């Protein structure tokens, strides 16, 4: 499924079929790869800066051994407006060797600069939340329900809207970074024009 067009309200639709009970591939979160996100939303210098921060954060997570999981993307970044950041819920598997609750807490504390919401926002322009996939099923369902409800409605208007799901694996991150670099001259020229 590709990323659907914005609705008349400037948001992604919550589904693209005839109703919300259609084929799951036609409903939010829409599963796409990183390069589809950069191609679709890298339309201004500000958006490109945010996307670059997102790619840097994904690379930093892989550097500490987090290679499995997926991310839900949402917020004003996925709307037809100029955003300040990108809202993300990252569903992550801890790296090999990090099994017990004590080991997971130590891993989290050691790498706090990649997980602390305020630090990540200041460093990468991301508003990030993290959900370990290694926890209890009940906890995972509860947190997923919370963030699905939070992310599936526009702040202020409460319009029902769509979001995007991207795998954490690095398969297309390098290509996405190249896309951003190729867009630079076009966007800089376009933004400099009146």
* pLDDT of the chain, 194 residues: tens digit per residue: 689 999 999 999 999 988 777 888 888 899 999 999 999 999 999 999 999 999 999 999 999 999 999 999 999 999 999 999 999 999 999 999 998 889 999 999 999 999 999 999 999 999 999 998 887 778 778 888 878 777 887 778 888 899 999 999 888 898 898 888 876 655 444 444 43
Task: Answer whether residue 114 is part of any domain.
Answer: yes
Task: Answer whether residue 62 is part of any domain.
Answer: yes
Task: Answer whether residue 108 is part of any domain.
Answer: yes
Distance CA 61, CA 57 (A): 6
Domain range for 73: 24-183
Q: Tally the residues of the chain.
A: 194
Burial of 110 (0-12, 13-18, 19+ CB in 10 A): exposed
pLDDT at position 145: 80
Distance CA 72, CA 184 (A): 26
Task: Answer whether residue 190 is part of any domain.
Answer: no
Edge-to-edge order in the sheet of strand 69-74:
30-31, 164-167, 69-74, 86-92, 126-132
Task: Answer whether residue 86 is part of any domain.
Answer: yes
Task: Answer whether residue 82 is part of any domain.
Answer: yes
SS3 string of the chain?
A: CCCCCCCCCCCCCCECCCCCCCCHHHECCEECCHHHHHHHHCCCHHHHHHHHHHHHHHHHHHHCCCCCEEEEEECHHHCCCCCCCEEEEEEECCCCCCCCHHHHHHHHHHCHHHCCHHHHHHHHCEEEEEEECCCCHHHHHHHHHHHHHHHCECCCCCCECCCEEEECCCCCHHHHHHHHHHHHHHHHHHHCCC
Task: Answer whether residue 122 is part of any domain.
Answer: yes
Task: Answer whether residue 165 is part of any domain.
Answer: yes
Q: How many domains does the chain have?
A: 1
């Amino acid at each position: 499924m590709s990323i659907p067009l914005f609705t008349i309200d400037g948001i992604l639709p919550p589904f693209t079929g005839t109703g919300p009970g259609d084929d799951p591939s036609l409903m939010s979160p829409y599963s796409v790869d990183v390069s589809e996100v950069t191609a679709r939303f890298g339309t201004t210098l500000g958006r490109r800066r945010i996307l670059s921060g997102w790619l840097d954060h994904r690379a930093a997570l892989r550097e500490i051994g987090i290679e499995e999981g997926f991310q839900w993307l949402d917020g004003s970044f996925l709307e037809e407006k100029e955003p300040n950041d990108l809202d993300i819920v990252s569903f992550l598997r801890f790296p090999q060797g990090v099994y017990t609750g004590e080991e997971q807490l130590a891993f989290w504390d050691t790498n706090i600069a990649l997980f602390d919401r305020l630090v990540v926002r200041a460093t990468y322009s991301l508003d990030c939340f993290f959900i370990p996939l290694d926890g209890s099923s009940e906890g995972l369902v509860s947190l997923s329900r919370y963030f699905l409800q939070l992310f599936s409605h526009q702040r202020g208007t409460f319009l029902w809207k769509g979001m995007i799901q991207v795998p954490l694996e690095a398969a297309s991150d390098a290509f996405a970074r190249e896309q951003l670099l190729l867009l630079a001259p076009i966007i800089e020229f376009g933004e400099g024009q009146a």
